[in-house]
């Protein structure tokens, strides 16, 4: 009995590693990174921040949240406040966003799942044109009423050139 549970855990870990490796090979992204949340407990004071460089301002970009939550996350949604800062640490764009992680009625997790973990790629900025070339930081703060917030395993960001349809 112990061996079966142990073998299942090893198999889940190997599959998680394979999926993570596959998802991390996104050659289209200008920038892609995530920050693990210690013990899956996201404190309001813990604001994951990601710094990246934009060189082509003629190109619109899509910026995505990359969220990983456990099946034990107690809500269907996640409110976050995001800040886009320029190289002088001045906020150039900010918003409060509601990210839907599970079906509100059924509680069925959305996103890509493996075992009890689910990955989500949710639009934060669509067809955004950065005001000038240079370094930018994207900072995310959890905006739920619970502090710490359990069940969020990591938060990340992906910056990708937008595909403009003619």
- What confidence tens digit (pLDDT) does each residue in 106-131 have? 999 999 998 999 999 999 999 999 99
- CB neighbours of 103 closer than 8 A, spacing ≥ 6? 76, 109, 110
Looking up tokens 């996350």, which residue turns up?
73
Whether pTM exceeds 0.75: yes
CB atoms within 10 A of CB 148: 17
Task: Kindly give the parts of the chain with pLDDT less than 70.
Answer: 1-27, 166
Structural domains in the chain, sorted by start: 28-161 (2.60.120.380)
**pLDDT score recorded for residue 5:** 60
**pLDDT score recorded for residue 19:** 45
For 57-69, the pLDDT digits (tens) are 999 999 999 999 9
Q: Residue 40: what are its φ and ψ, rounded to 5°?
A: 65, 25
**pLDDT score recorded for residue 130:** 98
**pLDDT score recorded for residue 26:** 53
**pLDDT score recorded for residue 149:** 98
């Amino acid at each position: 009995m112990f061996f079966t549970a142990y073998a299942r855990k090893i198999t889940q870990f190997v599959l998680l590693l394979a999926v993570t490796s596959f998802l991390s090979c996104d050659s289209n992204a200008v920038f892609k990174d995530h920050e693990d949340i210690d013990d899956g407990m996201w404190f309001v004071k813990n604001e994951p921040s990601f710094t990246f460089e934009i060189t082509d301002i003629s190109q619109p970009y899509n910026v995505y949240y990359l969220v990983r939550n456990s099946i034990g996350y107690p809500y269907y949604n996640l409110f976050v406040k995001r800040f886009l800062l320029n190289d002088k640490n001045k906020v150039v764009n900010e918003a409060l966003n509601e990210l839907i992680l599970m079906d509100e009625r059924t509680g069925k997790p959305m996103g890509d799942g493996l075992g009890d973990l689910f990955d989500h790629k949710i639009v934060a900025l669509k067809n955004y044109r950065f005001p000038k070339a240079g370094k930018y930081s994207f900072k995310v703060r959890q905006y739920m009423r619970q502090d710490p917030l359990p069940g969020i395993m990591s938060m990340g960001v992906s910056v990708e050139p937008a595909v403009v349809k003619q």
